[in-house]
Amino acid sequence: MPSLVISDVTMIYERPRTHERFRAIDRVSMTIDESSFVTIIGPSGCGKSTLLAIVDGLIAPSAGTIEVEGRPITAPGPDRGMVFQEASLLPWYTTLENCAYGLESQGVPKKEAQQRVLPLIEMVGLKGFEHNYPAELSIGMQQRANVARALAVDPEILLMDEPFAALDAQTRELMQSELLRIWDQTRKTVLFITHQLDEAIYLSDRVLVMSGRPGRIIDDVPIPLERPRPLDIKRTPIFAELEQRLWDDLRREIEEEVAPAGAREQW
């Protein structure tokens, strides 16, 4: 049974005062198998983050349904865990308290919750920093804690919204490799969003390309690379081919945004 089925999801936004309506996402559908790592890429503002928020249950779609393991969903729940972009660890809690947050939200008593997340904190490489506050951790370390917090509630699906966007290039590479190492131990279903093509290919089993507004799926690229994947795999010819394919898809979309078809004739 597939882990996640998104059917004809559409999102229409209404501007608060002018009441003008905009279609952000247009009939997006996808089927995601259990334990697969799927990435969505697309130009800025194409609705990727909105789609993720819909899957997490934070927003209700204008049309369409989301099913997790066959059950339709309408609100946030313990079956999905979200890893946000930077600055989402609560600054008034230590690493340990932050990671236990999700479990405590489910009603697990504090002591027990903290006991349960200790091995997770070690797994993401933050042993020794349990009692530090987020301000004392580098962004890379904060994101590790973010991942631990999401994993702590043992969700079926892990949703990751450009988690490495705020990292510098070197730390980013390292974190990609780390993420695969962590993922390998738990094999959750992952829906990942990013702008970076190499990141998408390196991490995933499958990459879905989304168009510019209104967002539609315009390509579905399987990634036939074997696992485990060393970082060097980014320098292989097959990797370059995949990157080229994705780039060709995206370039059209990005150029549409920068200079719509009509205007380009005049150049």
Partner 1 sequence: MSLAQSRALGADFVGAAPARSAKQWLRDNERKLVPLGALIVFLAGWQVASSARLINPLFFASPWAVVDAGYQDVKTALFWSDLRVSLTEFGIGYGFSLASGLVVGFAIGWFRRLRYVLRPIVDALNSIPGIALVPLVLIWFGLAFSSKIALIFLVAFPVVVVNMYTATTSINPQYLRVARSFDSSRWRLLRTVVFPAIAPFAFAAARVGVGRGVSGVVVGEYFAANSGLAYRLFQAGESHDTALVLFGALLITVLALGAFRLLNAVERRVLRWRQVQTSLAQE
Query: In the bound complex, what is the minimum distance in angstroms from residue 248's beta carbon to partner 1?
Result: 34
- Which region among 28-36, 111-119, 130-138, 248-256 touches partner 1 (by CB under 8 A)? 130-138
Q: What is the sign of the dihedral through the CA atoms of 123, 129, 130 and 135?
A: negative
Cα-Cα end-to-end distance for the chain: 52
d(CA 224, CA 205): 7
What count of residues does the chain have? 267
Please select the residue that binds partner 1; options are 137, 166, 233, 254, rule is CB under 8 A. 137
d(CA 180, CA 152): 17
Query: In the bound complex, what is the minimum distance in angstroms from residue 199's beta carbon to partner 1?
Result: 22
Which residues in 147-186 contact partner 1 (CB under 8 A)?
A: 153
Query: In the bound complex, what is the minimum distance in angstroms from residue 141's beta carbon to partner 1?
Result: 7
Nearer to partner 1, 128 or 222 (CB): 128
- Tell me, residue by residue from 31 to 70, as one string, x for binding to partner 1 by CB under 8 A and - for no binding: -------------------------x-x------------
CB atoms closer than 10 angstroms to residue 45: 13
Nearer to partner 1, 137 or 165 (CB): 137
Query: In the bound complex, what is the minimum distance in angstroms from residue 241's beta carbon to partner 1?
Result: 37
Please select the residue that binds partner 1; options are 70, 92, 232, 260, rule is CB under 8 A. 92
User: Of the candidates 158, 146, 143, 148, which has an alpha carbon nearest to the alpha carbon of residue 37?
Assistant: 158
C-alpha 8: how far from its chain's center? Answer: 20
Please select the residue that binds partner 1; options are 9, 123, 141, 182, rule is CB under 8 A. 141
d(CA 36, CA 133): 33
Say if CB 37 and CB 190 are below 8 A apart: yes
Please select the residue that binds partner 1; options are 21, 33, 44, 87, rule is CB under 8 A. 87
Nearer to partner 1, 75 or 258 (CB): 75
User: Of the candidates 58, 7, 4, 6, which has an alpha carbon nearest to the alpha carbon of residue 33?
Assistant: 4
d(CA 116, CA 162): 27
Binding site for partner 1 (CB under 8 A): 56, 58, 75-78, 82, 84, 87-88, 90-93, 101-102, 105-106, 128-129, 132-133, 135-138, 141, 153
